[in-house]
Structure 1
Amino acid sequence: MLLWLSANGATIIITLILIILVVLAGRKIRKRKGNCGCGHCGCGCDNCYFKNVPEQSENKKE
């Protein structure tokens, strides 16, 4: 077991660092998304350009 850990120690440390960075990036993106859930900016719905733009429906009527 110690032989395996010593042989793969650098890989394990790099993998843990990458996992931590991905988790932190995901938290920052979720936090920046804002309360309105539009995902376009972190300013909130009061200043959002897209707040008055209607959502496009999947079933378009012609």
Structure 2
Amino acid sequence: MATVIVSLVVFGAVAFVIGKGIYNRVHRKGGGCSCGGGCSGCPGSCLCHPEK
């Protein structure tokens, strides 16, 4: 019984982390820009500086 409970807790934590990552990607949150500010050729510049 303890194995089932621990497995459910671990599965729930993994599902939460994956779900949070998908939510952040859809809503363009997090990630940050580590390119140092020279974003003209950066493929991730739309994440750092989204169009308004």
Aligned-residue offset at 1:42: 1.1
Equivalent pairs, count: 38
Answer yes or no: is 1:11 the counterpart of 2:39: no
Amino acid at match of 2:29: G
TM-score by length of 1: 0.44
What RMSD over aligned residues (CA atoms) do the two structures have, in Å? 3.0
For residues 54 and 16 of structure 1, the distance between their equivalents in structure 2, rounded to whole angstroms, comes to 38
> What's the % identity of the aligned pairs?
18
Q: Which gives a bigger RCO, structure 1 or 2 (Cα 8 Å, sep 6+)?
A: 2
Matches for 1:1-62 after TM superposition, within 5 Å: 9-34=1-26, 42=29, 52=40, 53-54=42-43
Moved over 4 A (4+): 48-52
Shift of 1:34: 3.7
TM-score, length-scaled by structure 2: 0.50
Q: Point out the structure with max Rg over C-alpha.
A: 1
Structure 1 residues not aligned, in runs of 5+:
1-8, 36-40, 56-62
Higher helix share: 1
The match for 1:58 is none
